Chains A and B, each alone.
Chain A
């Protein structure tokens, strides 16, 4: 498959009054067409920065210090004017966490669809899109205001709006976090099914590891502004390699026996991302040794995964190839 998105040693900072705060540090990643990538990590690890920079949505405080983003062979960071508008409108789409914030409270669902599709056939297209997400009762949905819909219906409408223009990449920032557990799976089902149908790639950001591992092709684990592990989902869920990924998975309930104690990860991510050499996770890592603080470990291939840890061999009893 051809690469859709290629991110190369991207470093992003936010400008504050007197200094720069690093949010992403030398992040590299490729995403194939139609691929579904899940990104997990604690808050403040750079997940949202990563998802916003793809749409050039950093805002005035964000500074791209280094790196490139290519989308379908074009340099995203150099886009401006009409090119940028067309890229945002046609190539990518976003689904955010809370549907009630994503829908304009003063307009009906129908009016919001109409804004997206200028064609005279907007109504027919909107009805089809709604049917795609399981909202067949368009007679009720189209003239409704967002507050008249339930959270699940609203999020379905949001998904329909995001995918109606057939984007090549959908970025979903915690798409199910605001929904009831009972409908999370059905929303994820239709999201992934529709993406597969139109061949759209997807980046899902989530704290919900079971959801991510069920629906993603690959999983990326972020810590302190970098990817520390990128692995195929099926491999990741059985055996994460990086100590941080292992700790994250261990703190997920439901994996252990009845009497097992739920693990929790001590400490919290560093308040600001340091550019000093050394593994950022070393302070919280139970496997740390002196060389860990010597230089940041690069992402190296380890079986089907890529992991950034120098002690892989010792931890897992196998040589990092």
Chain B
């Protein structure tokens, strides 16, 4: 079965950090449920008056219904799908760009490195929400603005991590040897340096995904993310906050989902760091 090696690696991962092992399963379930929501026996998320307005949570309606009688569970799953997807796409783009920029900065040194580093410091110094507002002012609110904002917020730390790790690796003897044996700079960076910095990069990318979800939710909460009828966890929170005194469950559903997703991602990031730590790896090898 193709799942066999996956399960095997997961066991190792779980043994290294049980909390992270649990978190990775939780996250997997959340993603699967969010992705497969249209196939589940639930009301469509935009079906108005499917239930009495503002119904309390019950066995049928786990998260209750909203002011238009829509099933909150369907809406939360749809919102989670958008939040996770936007964050994943943005972080994927940010990682590719960040790795490339960081490697170039580390390798080129001198002026180009200085320009890249200072520029990423400047971008990093903007608060995430301010950055989002700036971008929506330029490109208008929506998914694209959310993705741009997440990229700009998560890119500088990735560049920094890649640059620092790559500089350390470039100084090692094995890179010198590879260079002496005639490897081209591109080959040196991709074949010799990149595999050796993958651990801090993977960890940083995992953290970036949780930052991405947070930024996306913050922007949506301010109404700058995906526009109605599309909903993300942040915009559900904003809609629910209007009725918080009469129907607090409207906030609880998306909030619980968001908290679990972000918490799990952070735990996975921390778990990856522990999992790849060479000192621990040495203890594990019997």
> Which residues does A use to contact B, with CB under 8 Å?
55, 57, 60, 85-86, 88-89, 92-94, 96, 98, 101-107, 115-116, 147, 161
Contact = CB atoms under 8 A, between A and B. Distances in A.
The secondary structure that dominates the B interface is helix
B178 A55 contact: no
B181 A104 contact: no
Interface stretch (B115-123, B169-177, B226-234, B239-247): B169-177
Interface in B194-226: 195-196, 198
Given A101-B174, A102-B177, A103-B174, A60 B182 contact: no
B110 interface: yes
Interface of B: 109-110, 172-174, 176-183, 191-192, 195-196, 198, 282
Contacts of B176: 57, 94, 96
Contacts of A116: 181
B182 A86 contact: yes
A102 B180 CA distance: 12
Given A105-B196, A106-B196, A107-B195, A88 B173 contact: no
A104 B196 contact: yes
Given A105-B196, A106-B195, A60 B177 contact: no
A287 B198 CA distance: 57
Contacts of B183: 115
B178 A104 contact: yes
B144 to A, nearest CB: 37
B200 to A, nearest CB: 13
B182 A89 contact: yes
Contacts of B178: 104, 115
B110 A60 contact: yes
Given A60-B109, A104-B195, A115-B178, 12 more contacts: A57-B180, A89-B180, A94-B176, A96-B173, A96-B176, A96-B177, A101-B172, A101-B173, A103-B174, A104-B196, A115-B183, A115-B191
B192 A89 contact: no
Shortest beta-carbon contacts, A-B, top 7 = A89-B182, A106-B195, A102-B173, A101-B173, A104-B174, A96-B173, A88-B180
A60 B177 CA distance: 17
B180 A115 contact: no
Nearest to A98: B173
B162 to A, nearest CB: 16
Contacts of B109: 60
B195 A94 contact: no
A88 B177 contact: no
Contacts of A101: 172-174
Contacts of A98: 173
Contacts of A161: 177
A106 B177 CA distance: 15
A89 B181 contact: yes
A85 B195 CA distance: 24
A148 to B, nearest CB: 9
Nearest to B191: A115
Contacts of A88: 179-182
